[in-house]
Amino acid sequence: MEALGRLEDLPQDYRDELTAQNLVPLWPSLRALLPPGKPARRTQATAWAYQAIRPLLMRAGELTPIEKAERRVLVLANPGHGLDKMQASAAMYLGMQLLMPGEWAPSHRHTPNAVRMVVEGEGAWTTVDGEKCPMSRGDLILTPTGLWHEHGHDGTEPVVWLDVLDLPLVYYTETSYVVGGDRQAVQPGRGDRAYARGGVAPRPVFGRSGRAYPMLRYPWADARAALVSLAEDRPDQEAVQIEYINPETGSPAENILGFYALMLRPGQTLRLPARSPALVFHTIEGGATLLTDDGQAFHLAAADTACVPGYTGVTLTNASATEPAFLFLADESPLHRKLGVYEERG
């Protein structure tokens, strides 16, 4: 492709006149806006060790009472975007949130979609749209756009979870806002019970569930059991992966980001092909090494989190030769598919 004219090639008086009229010439920036063959990505492959996050999060628990934080979170910021942008990738936000025993993070609802992946501790709960969802290690709990949610903690030890939101995208589109509310009344009915078995779903004689998001909590015990039986059932299949879906529609659980759990068999090395969306990894059980196609390597111990830019293949290797490893994944696939830009490059 031919080199195009530069800004410096234009006379200063002409440039000044353009600026005064809020006008900008396209050609000096065209190659940066549309790079040939592959997009420019600010997202850098980055890993965050839980061992490093945890003491800083516990210190936040001492320094800042929940009333002064509303949500006590340390954001996992990708340095490629600049830490002040508080984003992991173009569309994904990641944060580690701490709730201490007896604390309450008040009810609110907002336009960004969120999920939480529970990292440690027992006894906390999130009430979403009137459904009280207990939090245990590895559980995935949805707080989709517009639904009321609040967190409480009746246990005795700190509880920590990973928040994944599409906040960067929603903020970019100038649609990000919150509404505060009162403590929710807990209603009967739990999606994790109603939809506990794949292949059979509640079918009311009259109408449907009537909820856009019928399942809000995906217990780790069930997701793990699904992976283990999938691995046993399909020894021929290399990748042992499940997707968290809406059990009424079969579509991704939320609209913008996709959520998955992956099991690495003992000693397994698995290559994930290069695809357009950025990918987040969080180790639920065991450990793995992560090697990107461009040669960046990270070791992920249990509870560590990493982010890899789009258009980048990744090779995962289970750190153990005798035990499976389990990872939670988040990506931007639903968004890319809706935009029509989703690609797999092998």
* Residues at the site binding ligand 1HN, with contacts judged by CB under 6 A: 71, 73, 95, 97, 110, 114, 149, 163, 165, 167
CB of 124 to ligand 1HN, least distance (A): 11
User: What span, in angstroms and rounded, lies between the C-alpha atoms of 144 and 113?
Assistant: 4
| Shorter beta-carbon distance to ligand 1HN: residue 115 or 264 | 115
Give the three-class secondary structure for 13. helix
* Comparison of 73 and 117: residue with beta carbon closer to ligand 1HN: 73
In the bound complex, what is the minimum distance in angstroms from residue 186's beta carbon to ligand 1HN? 17
Q: Which amino acid is at 192?
A: D
Give the whole-angstrom CA distance, residue 155 versus residue 161.
15
- Taking the C-alpha atoms of residue 289 and residue 58, their distance in angstroms, rounded to an integer, is 27
Q: Compute the least distance from the CB of residue 77 to ligand 1HN, in Å.
A: 12
Minimum distance from residue 298 beta carbon to ligand 1HN (Å): 24
For residues 316 and 312, give the distance between their C-alpha atoms in angstroms, rounded to a whole number.
Answer: 13
- Give the C-alpha distances (Å, rounded to integers) separating 102 from 71, 106, 156: 14, 13, 8
Q: What's the min distance (Å) between Cβ of 135 and ligand 1HN?
A: 11
- Residue closer to ligand 1HN (CB basis): 75 or 228: 75
Nearer to ligand 1HN, 112 or 286 (CB): 112
Q: Which is nearer to ligand 1HN, 165 or 319 (CB)?
A: 165
* Closest approach of ligand 1HN to the CB of residue 92, in Å: 12
Q: For residues 135 and 128, is the Cβ–Cβ distance under 8 A?
A: no
Nearer Cβ to ligand 1HN (162/262): 162
- φ/ψ region of 30 (left if φ > 0, alpha if ψ in -120 to 50, else beta) reads alpha
Q: For residues 132 and 223, give the distance between their C-alpha atoms in angstroms, rounded to a whole number.
A: 19
Between 50 and 298, CB nearer to ligand 1HN: 50
Minimum distance from residue 149 beta carbon to ligand 1HN (Å): 6
**Contact partners, residue 323, CB within 8 Å, separation at least 6:** 266, 286
The radius of gyration of the chain's CA atoms, rounded to the nearest angstrom, is 22
Please report how close the Cβ of residue 265 comes to ligand 1HN at its closest, in angstroms.
34
d(CA 288, CA 300): 5
User: What are the tokens at 321?
Assistant: 């030769």
Tokens of 7: 């800004």
Nearer to ligand 1HN by Cβ, of 117 and 274: the residue is 117
Residue 163 has, within 13 A of its CA and on its CB side, a CA count of: 26
Alpha carbon distance 84, 166 (integer Å):
16
